[in-house]
Structure 1
Amino acid sequence: MEQDRPRPSSTPENLRVLVISGSAREGSLNARLAALAADAVRERGSTADLADVRELEVPGYDGDREHRDGLPAGALRLKERLETTDALVIASPEYNASVPGVLKNLIDWTSRIRPQPFHNRHTLLLSASPSMSGGNRGLWALRVPLEHLGAHVYPDMFSLAQAHQAFTAGGRLADATLAARFTDNLVNFLNLVEAAKHYPCVKKAWVEYLGERPDPAFDRTEETVEA
């Protein structure tokens, strides 16, 4: 007889989710969106660890500095928080149609840790902007380094346009249609994470650059072996 196995539910429970605001600005729209995401995670019975890049501050990446001083505390703190969670949610602004330097720099430093902590990490990307595009171009740029590092970036990203007018005084989304889409997007993502947690896919190896072997000259290829 086939044994019963845990099944994903419509309200994922017992998941641990790290939610990061990619903006260092006080009272930023993306910090508000990150807080809303963390609240939604908790409302569905899971645990949210809410952070912003100011808590994870790192200097500009410098290979000589890394060899001399090692990894900065901010990167090590992010690694520790990633390792205690099942998924990552990032609410990031768009700077010049791309990724904010402070966030990209944090990713670059943290990617130097072995084993590399973004690999196989389920990730949802959010953005908020006063513009009509909602910061969406920045999310497309953010996908590139994360997917390169082996993160499973959720296909449906959420971008909040005209975000300066979108929130109520209580921090909720004023528009019911937008609020429903935001919630559905987050719940669908959490359902996927829950399914992946209970039904893990066995993957033998992963190499960032196909055809390249680990070599100090490259210093960018990693092989990961799982049981």
Structure 2
Amino acid sequence: MENRPSPGLKVLVFSASLRRESLNGKLAALAARVAERAGASVDLASMHDFDVPLYDGDGEARDGIPPGARELQRRLLESDAFVISSPEYNASMPGTIKNLIDWTSRFRPQPFDGRHGMLLSASPSLVGGNRGLWALRVPLEHQGARIYPDMFSLSMAHKAFEGDELADPALHARFEKSLKAFLSLAEAAKHYPCIKREWVEFLGEPPGAAADRVDPAPD
């Protein structure tokens, strides 16, 4: 019998692209459908839900943390895990998602801390946006997120979709398998503390170790 995440598992899914017809938006929507079919409860969001200005210490001191970052904090805290599908800009992550992470890092406690995340990308290029995902891992893991080792990069993405689904059955099966494995891990971490402890140790951070988090501060 296939292992299915329990309906109690809540997953936030969104694309790091702002474009309405973004390939990463299509991949995020596909991930949301796969997760729902696997039994998870999905919150499918948009970067427009998390609109923030450029990080400015003076602005934070004057106006506080903006509503877009507060909205991401709220939805992260209501979720057990998150999935981000991000494009690659100039071999790195988009500045918009990095800026959003920087604003969100100002909250105490850190809303990313201890949450499991999976990173996806879709790109017309042959590398599928993979270089951008390696860059995106850095600030998320620095904030304490447990980023799943197997990132999914969809190359030649402009030709990969047939409607809203992946045209290649083998590629779709690999995508579904990777996402379901991530959901199973997130569920195990939620319900079985011993599994969560072993996972943290696997990532190289001793359980209970004091976190050394550095975030934007007035310069």
Settle same-fold status: TM greater than 0.5.
Answer: yes
2:201 pairs with 1:207: no
Out of 193, 198, 204, the position equivalent to 2:191 is 198
- Determine the structure 1 residue equivalent to 2:202: none
Matched, 1:161 2:155: yes
Say whether 1:177 aligns with 2:170: yes
Could you tell me the percent identity over the aligned residues? 59
CA deviations 1:14-44 (Å, max 9, x no partner) are: 2100001000011100000000000011101
How far off is 1:220 after superposition? Answer: 6.7
Q: RMSD of the alignment, in Å?
A: 1.6
CA contact (8 A) 2:102 2:216 kept: no
1:78 to 65, 72, 76: 72
Q: What SS class does the counterpart of residue 115 from structure 1 fall into?
A: coil
State the shift of 1:208 in Å: 1.7
TM-superposed deviation, 1:206: 2.8
**Residue type of the alignment partner of 1:58:** V
Deviations 1:122-179 (A, max 9, x none): 000000000000000000000010111111000000000000011112x010001110
Which of 31, 44, 56 pairs up with 2:50?
56
Distance 1:219 1:37 in 2: 30
User: CA offset at residue 45 of structure 1?
Assistant: 1.2
SS of alignment partner, residue 159 of structure 1: strand
Which of residues 1, 22, 30 is equivalent to 1:28? Answer: 22
CA distance in 2, matches of 1:173, 1:146: 28
What is the distance in 1 between the residues matched to 2:19 and 2:216?
A: 32
Deviations 1:33-72 (A, max 9, x none): 0000000111011111011111110000001111111000
Q: Distance in 2 between matches of 1:78 and 1:219?
A: 17
Tell me if structure 1 keeps the 8 A contact 2:102–2:215: no
1:186 partnered with 2:179:
yes
The structure 1 segments of at least 4 consecutive aligned residues displaced by more than 3 Å after TM superposition are 218-221
Unaligned runs of 5+ in 2: 198-206
1:80-118 CA distances to partner (integer Å, 9 max, x unpaired)? Answer: 000000001000000000010111111110010111101
2:89 pairs with 1:95: yes
Give the distance between the partners of 1:174 and 1:161, measured in 2 at CA. 13
More helix by share: 2
Q: What SS does structure 1 have at the residue aligned with 2:11?
A: strand
Q: Which residue of 2 aligns with 1:142?
A: 136
Aligned pair count? Answer: 204
CA distance in 2, matches of 1:29, 1:192: 27
Give 3-state SS (helix, strand or coil) of 2:162's partner.
Answer: coil
Length-normalised TM-score, structure 2: 0.89
Q: Secondary structure at the match of 1:64?
A: helix
Secondary structure at the residue paired with 2:135?
A: helix
| CA distance in structure 2 between the partners assigned to 1:176 and 1:107 by the alignment | 35
Letter in 1 for 2:27: L
Q: Normalising to structure 1: TM-score of the pair?
A: 0.86
Q: Is the 8 A contact 2:50 2:68 kept in 1?
A: yes
